[in-house]
Structure 1
């Protein structure tokens, strides 16, 4: 099923619409601003409730890999949030970007795989890439682009979001299905969040319309989740003779300063083959001294290498995850996504 272009909308709502015009391909591409090799991404600050007011624009929150698409005369580069070149992992997106008819551009967006309901499915995306450490290139992933940082020789990071969105909409007017516009939606933030919850979506992103593009987490962008999902580092596992694959639960930690802090464990969400793979991989990473202070029976400690995406319902007073469920592993190169306790 093709993804609904405006998944947060109900029938009585309309998406923000701006006039579109075709770019003149004969216009010279003057290099007014040097194209950066990389732009550190603007990150959304987690909030429990959606903001209100006309100064905020809303989008669906996608569950995939954050990517920057660099389009240059010499070709296309696809850069991850952590700065790794993954052009070879997303050849279809790279090919589509090369056909946009622009000399130079940097698109900010999220690569996802859609399920039968048209929702982004992180597990399906991981499988399309061959799992953690896999060598496969995803032919199923599509890019939902939500920002334009550089365009035809112009650095747009200092311009307000409404201008960047206008240019992005024009650029993607006839882009096809592999690169799509992440639609901006007008409406009350609380109602849009309820719409997202009723549709089984992960949440919404709110952005200040007049904000410039600032790298890091400054509050210009907010994320409000229906169900919380974050990345945590795996620091070991609990052995179990009765559980599938001999793995009872994964021991998890988050960033705190320059080190790690325990956030509890997760014992649900993985299938038999997941448990077998996780136990075998963690056994190869076994260490005697845990990366965080941990005590208990039948615990096996590992190097803080594996990154697990975890769905959970909140935090306990002790700082552990409540009702955690395993969703899948992230690539080692995606370590920039590991949750930092200062973001709580």
Structure 2
């Protein structure tokens, strides 16, 4: 199902079999006009995927696996590499394997868009494993297990590619990060399949979902619909407003109490009591105990043995559906989102 690298009629990288080079291989003809180089931007706001219930159809759409990790941008320059989060925070030192591999890429200047992930034994991205490798939310540990799944190229050898259509950006990216690469920087491969069929296969393999992208559009920051995400299981961020104690559960957490946004207010959406392990529950309990308040920030109804906390922590929660009174059904805790990763709280329209 995976597409082979394209072989264009007019190669964009010179000879197809030649290595990618950043310097001219022969002296420039003085009669040839000087090509202007675009200044390298300090940061590019990411293109975000719009959630849709079903995959779009049409030849202009291409598909990829939806990765469950931290959105990153790799800024490669001749003497330095920066790794920036979705929110623009510098996490260069937190991904040493990705940093070392970025320095080895055969390019002088580039900005790669992608996702840092940790893969489980079946090759699926696992957000909880990534968080634990980084020391949990607010932790300062470096992750040597994380790899970077590259899915776009925004700047390349002195040229801004954001105004170029995705098909051309992907061609250049595949030359820089080949599809068979198994290092700390890998290609998020395009998959040639019917969108509905691909979604069904992704769900059967317990993947989070798929991403559909328009091949004929430039790179536009924000959530404008050029990229669409279709999930197998709903997964969103909810703010923790407290927890119910339990002596029989990991970390003494029987159930987290969660809230979503409605306008400028927070409203209670139920709780979650599964998805924890001993380590994640212990780390979560430690952070919540620093935020304890006497009265709940939202009306949670009568709760037995409840401890209320300031609404500062955002939990990523998987769930199957909503009840008629706007409570989560079949919810499971995945981990805490970082503010640096754009920890968005689910909002009712």
Give the SS at the match of 1:50.
coil
| CA contact 1:160–1:210 (8 Å) conserved in 2 | yes
| CA contact 2:20–2:107 (8 Å) conserved in 1 | no
**Mind listing any 5+ residue stretches in structure 1 that lack a counterpart?**
1-8
Q: 1:256 to 1:160 in 2, by over 3 A?
A: farther
Quote the residue 1:179 is aligned against. Answer: 185
Q: 1:191 to 1:252 in 2, by over 3 A?
A: same
Q: Are positions 1:191 and 2:179 aligned together? A: no
Give the distance between the partners of 2:267 and 2:36, measured in 1 at CA: 47
Q: 1:73 to 1:259 in 2, by over 3 A?
A: farther
| CA contact 1:16–1:186 (8 Å) conserved in 2 | no
Quote the residue 1:219 is aligned against. Answer: 225
Match of 1:47 among 42, 45, 52: 52
State the shift of 1:80 in Å: 0.6
Deviations 1:93-129 (A, max 9, x none): 0111111121211100011111111111112111211
| CA contact 1:16–1:185 (8 Å) conserved in 2 | no
Quote the residue 1:295 is aligned against. Answer: 301
**Mind listing any 5+ residue stretches in structure 2 that lack a counterpart?**
26-33
Give the distance between the partners of 1:91 and 1:156, measured in 2 at CA: 27
RMSD over aligned Cα, in angstroms? 2.2
Q: Which moved more, 1:203-212 or 1:234-243?
A: 234-243
Instruction: Report the structure number with the largest CA radius of gyration.
Output: 2
Give the distance between the partners of 2:100 and 2:263, measured in 1 at CA: 40
Aligned pair count reads: 330
Q: Are positions 1:261 and 2:249 aligned together? A: no
Q: 1:289 to 1:32 in 2, by over 3 A?
A: farther
Alignment of 1:155-174 (within 5 A): 155-173=160-178
State the shift of 1:241 in Å: 4.9
Quote the residue 2:30 is aligned against. Answer: none
Quote the residue 1:149 is aligned against. Answer: 154
| CA contact 2:20–2:106 (8 Å) conserved in 1 | no
Q: Which moved more, 1:263-272 or 1:238-247?
A: 238-247
Quote the residue 1:15 is aligned against. Answer: 3
| CA contact 1:306–1:332 (8 Å) conserved in 2 | no
Q: 1:260 to 1:214 in 2, by over 3 A?
A: farther
Match of 1:129 among 124, 131, 134: 134
| CA contact 2:22–2:108 (8 Å) conserved in 1 | no
State the shift of 1:16 in Å: 5.0
Quote the residue 1:57 is aligned against. Answer: 62
| CA contact 2:5–2:171 (8 Å) conserved in 1 | no
Give the SS at the match of 1:166.
helix
Alignment of 1:222-301 (within 5 A): 222-298=228-304, 299-301=306-308
Q: 1:25 to 1:139 in 2, by over 3 A?
A: same
Give the distance between the partners of 1:176 and 1:247, measured in 2 at CA: 39
Deviations 1:304-337 (A, max 9, x none): 2222221111222323222100112233433x13
Give the distance between the partners of 1:72 and 1:45, measured in 2 at CA: 31
Deviations 1:222-273 (A, max 9, x none): 1111122222221211233554443221112234455533332111111344
Q: 1:176 to 1:239 in 2, by over 3 A?
A: closer
Give the distance between the partners of 1:25 and 1:104, measured in 2 at CA: 8
| CA contact 2:314–2:345 (8 Å) conserved in 1 | no
Give the distance between the partners of 2:177 and 2:95, measured in 1 at CA: 18
Quote the residue 1:87 is aligned against. Answer: 92
State the shift of 1:46 in Å: 0.9
Q: 1:104 to 1:181 in 2, by over 3 A?
A: same
Give the distance between the partners of 2:76 and 2:157, measured in 1 at CA: 10
Q: Which moved more, 1:20-29 or 1:296-305?
A: 20-29
Q: 1:239 to 1:30 in 2, by over 3 A?
A: farther
